[in-house]
Amino acid sequence: MLALRWKLSARGFTSRAVNGFTGSIGNTPLIYLKGLSEKTGSYIYGKAEFQNPGGSVKDRAALGVIEDAEAKGRLQPGGTVVEGTAGNTGIGLAHVCRAKGYKCVIFMPNTQSQEKIDLLRMLGAEVHPVPAVAYENPQNYNHQARDYAKNIPNAIWTDQFDNTANTEAHYRTTGPEIWEQTNGEVDAFICATGTGGTLAGIGKYLREKSAGKTQVWLADPPGSVLQSYVASGGQLKERSGSSITEGIGQGRITNNLGTFVNQLSGAMTIPDEKSIRMVYDLLDTEGLYLGASSALNVVAAVELAKKLGPGKTIATILCDGAYRYQSRLFSKKWLQSKGLEEAIPEHLKKYAVLD
């Protein structure tokens, strides 16, 4: 019935069309990664989240937290949505706010690139760059976002890290899509986490639906504490090291990950050398132009395929495209500055076309 409400005319929408920006979030393809599958003797799939209308996996979380606030009566028409974010969540929220008529206010550390600030402003968001200080400092961008929302009427702080409406969105949509797209024959799922919403939401759904048969693994970039947390049975270490990946890696157990962390089968850390090489490999062999967190996920899926042995079906997430990072990922100077030039084999160096 719902579909008919916006089936305006015989020549307009059809029942296969979707309703606006928000209706076009989700239902992304599951891509069979042929070369890597053949190499490992497994079936490796990437969920094409870069095909969401805002360009990343975070569109689902953005819609999820806003719809949850609407359903709970915390956000009324004409209200304001506030978040602390430097990346894809802000982009997703800015789009959804335009589509639903809300004001979007983003707080971010003032160390972020001008391109990121400009993009959010072009999408209609009000951007507040604030001093880049640690989470413990009340001036941290997350706390400033929370306090700003508290002080104006009809405003919410979406709190992507600890608001479990984020995980719920993936439990309701991404998890069931992967289950259906693999005909329920998915042996393992693995991905990296920022908020943890993607891993926990999908992981929880797949574990339930498979009656515990589907293994769920966490992949970590260098500088994140989660791999050692899982491996040590729950000890949180000080954070050390850093990574070229963006949007992933974590220093604590967020509420979103906390709903699921004890059900993980294992965790692995993927070094930047392997992730950057996979950015180039995916482009060269599969024609996929993806960011470094997607590449890290694919490396992790390949490593898991090797661990589990041939014949297994393994799914991961292709989070976003390389477009937002291309001035770095494909720049010779940047690769050199990160000590990653040698991680790119000779035959793939031709893709590093920027100086």
Ligand X SMILES: Cc1ncc(COP(=O)(O)O)c(C=O)c1O
Binding site for ligand X (CB under 6 A): 56-58, 87-89, 193-198, 246-248, 291, 293, 319-320
d(CA 180, CA 186): 10
Min. distance of Cβ 98 from ligand X in angstroms? 20
Query: Parallel, antiparallel, or unpaired: how do β-strands 43-48 and 30-32 relate?
Result: antiparallel
Residue with Cβ nearer ligand X (26 or 87)? 87
The tokens for 73 are 């009566």
CA 270 to chain CA centroid, Å, is 17
Min. distance of Cβ 164 from ligand X in angstroms? 12
Residue with Cβ nearer ligand X (68 or 246)? 246
Residue with Cβ nearer ligand X (57 or 314)? 57
Indicate which residues carry an active-site annotation: 58
Min. distance of Cβ 296 from ligand X in angstroms? 9
Residue with Cβ nearer ligand X (88 or 140)? 88
Q: What is the DSSP string of 125-173?
A: -EEEEE----TTSTTSHHHHHHHHHHTSTTEEE--TTT-THHHHHIIII
Q: Are 297 and 31 in contact (CB under 8 A)?
A: no
Min. distance of Cβ 196 from ligand X in angstroms? 5
Q: Are 249 and 194 in contact (CB under 8 A)?
A: yes
**DSSP code at position 236:** P
